[in-house]
Amino acid sequence: MWEIQLKDSFAKRYSNGYPLITKDTVQSMPDRMEEGSIVQLTDAKKRFIGKGYYGIQNKGLGWMLTQQQEETIDAAFFKQKIKSALDRRKSFFQDNSTDAFRVFNGEGDGIGGLVIDYFAGSYLIQWYSQGIFTFKSMIVQALDATTDYQAIYEKKRFDTKGQYVEDDDFVKGKRQTFPIIIKESGMRYAVDLNDGAMVGIFLDQRDVRRTIREKYAKNKHVLNTFSYTGAFSVAAALGNAAKTTSVDLAKRSKPKTIEQFSANDIDFEKQDIIVMDVFDYFKYARRKKLLFDLVVLDPPSFARSKKRTFSTAKDYPMLMKEAISITEKQGIIIASTNNASFGMKKFKGFIDKAFRETNTRYTFLEQFSLPNDFRTNPHFPEGNYLKVAVVKKES
Ligand code: SAH
């Protein structure tokens, strides 16, 4: 077995259960290791710390999978992890109003780099490194032996130089005709598991969508920025918003948003769906003196358009100031980010900064992080990436 010796100063962290193997913590490792190799992690005195696999992904070099020396990483190991993950989601499988959720959340369920979602009878497996992908047949078999399904699809999220290259993501079962319609808290969303990198909905925002529908939308003029397929707009419209405006730069967002409204029998012609750079839209709205009662801000962590690059870690206060400028007094802003590089405290600091710099008073109403199906590992806080704050602009 390959051995990765960890620096003394980090050994403790891994003994305590930190699962991600990163370059800066390695003292020595073999020169040529293959993706998917099982590795033993040891301290400076070569004492056993844990076992894991080598697989390069954006975050690190691989993941620790067990701290028990006798445990072997084999078919039985994967089967046991997948079975316990499915068991933990029992309440989701039994919930009649929702049939799309995460069943396996990487290191939160004991295997970093592996994510499995359930969409109305079908599974989507996401592989975050070539290393974890080498275990594909064992993992697919484990899923197959543990649960019933219509079909299994997959996405490779590695080594494609930022490009999505697969043209067929089908793995096993009976090919589905897409879009399929999934249910979420009684709402309906069109999903396509075989159409590029994204499927049409981000499951981690489920609680926020339900809250918008139930609490914040009624009779409101709603602006949904970075709207993608308009999932938040659908929730607002079903919550009896006066009107929704969805803004996204991607041309495909418009037909996709029409599809989501139509799946819920909402007349999309009564809603605004605008293909535009959000920053241009803010300018446009100010010029036209448009004000909204509810503004949803959920940008990607990084975005590059023709005009600018944007990073939430740097630019969130600026973005928030733009949002404040077109929000009515007593209006609500739902500010969200999935950037794992900072925590809730810093995020709230960004929001506070934006209000201070615009001399605006605000009240903090509530916050959200990942829903329960996105199980996280207590030793890996950066895995708990989602931060959503609901604030009210006072004056
Ligand atoms: N809030 C959405 C998910 C957003 S994904 C939801 O919950 O469903 C990020 C989206 O931002 C993508 O659809 C992308 O096209 C869009 N985007 C990135 N940069 C943008 C910009 N400058 N202006 C408008 N949209 C942008």
What is the per-residue pLDDT across 347-394, written as a single tens digit (0 to 9) for each? 999 999 999 999 999 999 999 999 999 999 999 999 999 999 999 999
* Domain final residue, candidates 21, 45, 66: 66
Q: How many C-alpha atoms does 204 have within 13 Å on its Cβ side?
A: 20
* Domain final residue, candidates 38, 66, 94: 66
Which numbered atom of ligand 1 lies nearest the CA of 208?
A: 7
For the domain that residue 298 is a member of, what is the CATH number?
3.40.50.150
Average the pLDDT over 153-157 and give the result: 95
What pLDDT score was predicted for residue 161? 61
Residue-wise pLDDT tens digits, 63-87:
999 999 999 999 999 999 999 999 9
CB-ligand 1 contact for 336 (6 Å cutoff): no
Residues 257 and 227 in one domain: yes
CB-ligand 1 contact for 204 (6 Å cutoff): no
Question: How many residues in the chain?
Answer: 395
164, pLDDT greater than 70: no
Residues 226 and 258 in one domain: yes
Domain membership of residue 178 as a residue range = 75-185
Q: Is there a contact between 127 and 140 (Cβ–Cβ < 8 Å)?
A: no
Residues 296 and 173 in one domain: no
CB-ligand 1 contact for 253 (6 Å cutoff): yes
Q: Whose CA is nearest to atom 16 of ligand 1?
A: 226
Alpha-carbon distance of 241 to 219, in angstroms, equals 5
Give the confidence band of 306 by pLDDT, cuts at 50, 70, 90.
confident
Element (H, E) at 315: helix 312-325
Residue-wise pLDDT tens digits, 237-265:
999 999 999 999 999 999 999 999 999 99
Alpha-carbon distance of 237 to 244, in angstroms, equals 7
Q: Which residues pair with 53 in a beta bridge?
A: 38, 63
Alpha-carbon distance of 342 to 113, in angstroms, equals 20
CB-ligand 1 contact for 315 (6 Å cutoff): no
What six digits make up the tokens of 313? 């870690």
Instruction: Give residue 103 CA to ligand 1 midpoint distance, Å.
Output: 25
Residue-wise pLDDT tens digits, 284-295:
999 999 999 999
Looking at the domain assignment, is residue 196 inside a domain? no
Residue-wise pLDDT tens digits, 95-139:
999 999 999 999 999 999 999 999 999 999 999 999 999 999 999
Q: Which residues pair with 191 in a beta bridge?
A: 180
Instruction: Give residue 269 CA to ligand 1 midpoint distance, Å.
Output: 21
Residue-wise pLDDT tens digits, 16-63:
999 999 999 999 999 989 999 999 999 999 999 999 999 999 879 999
Residues 305 and 367 in one domain: yes
Residues 24 and 51 in one domain: yes
Which numbered atom of ligand 1 lies nearest the CA of 250?
A: 15
For the domain that residue 179 is a member of, what is the CATH number?
3.30.750.80
Residues 244 and 363 in one domain: yes
Instruction: Give residue 297 CA to ligand 1 midpoint distance, Å.
Output: 9
CB-ligand 1 contact for 250 (6 Å cutoff): yes
Instruction: Give residue 337 CA to ligand 1 midpoint distance, Å.
Output: 11
Q: Is there a contact between 253 and 261 (Cβ–Cβ < 8 Å)?
A: no
Number of domains present in the structure of the chain: 3
Residues 124 and 42 in one domain: no
Looking at the domain assignment, is residue 197 inside a domain? no
Instruction: Give residue 228 CA to ligand 1 midpoint distance, Å.
Output: 5
CB-ligand 1 contact for 226 (6 Å cutoff): yes
What pLDDT score was predicted for residue 395? 87
Instruction: Give residue 226 CA to ligand 1 midpoint distance, Å.
Output: 3
* Domain final residue, candidates 66, 83, 105: 66
User: What are 99-102's contacts with CB under 8 Å, separation 24+?
Assistant: 99/182, 99/183, 99/184, 100/182, 100/183, 100/184, 100/189, 100/191, 100/201, 100/203, 101/203, 101/206, 101/373, 102/203, 102/204, 102/373, 102/374, 102/375
Cβ neighbours of residue 197 under 8 Å, at least 6 residues apart?
155, 157, 164
Residues 373 and 285 in one domain: yes
Residues 51 and 159 in one domain: no
33 backbone dihedrals φ, ψ, rounded to 5°: -110, 145
Residue-wise pLDDT tens digits, 171-215:
999 999 999 999 999 999 999 999 999 999 999 999 999 999 999
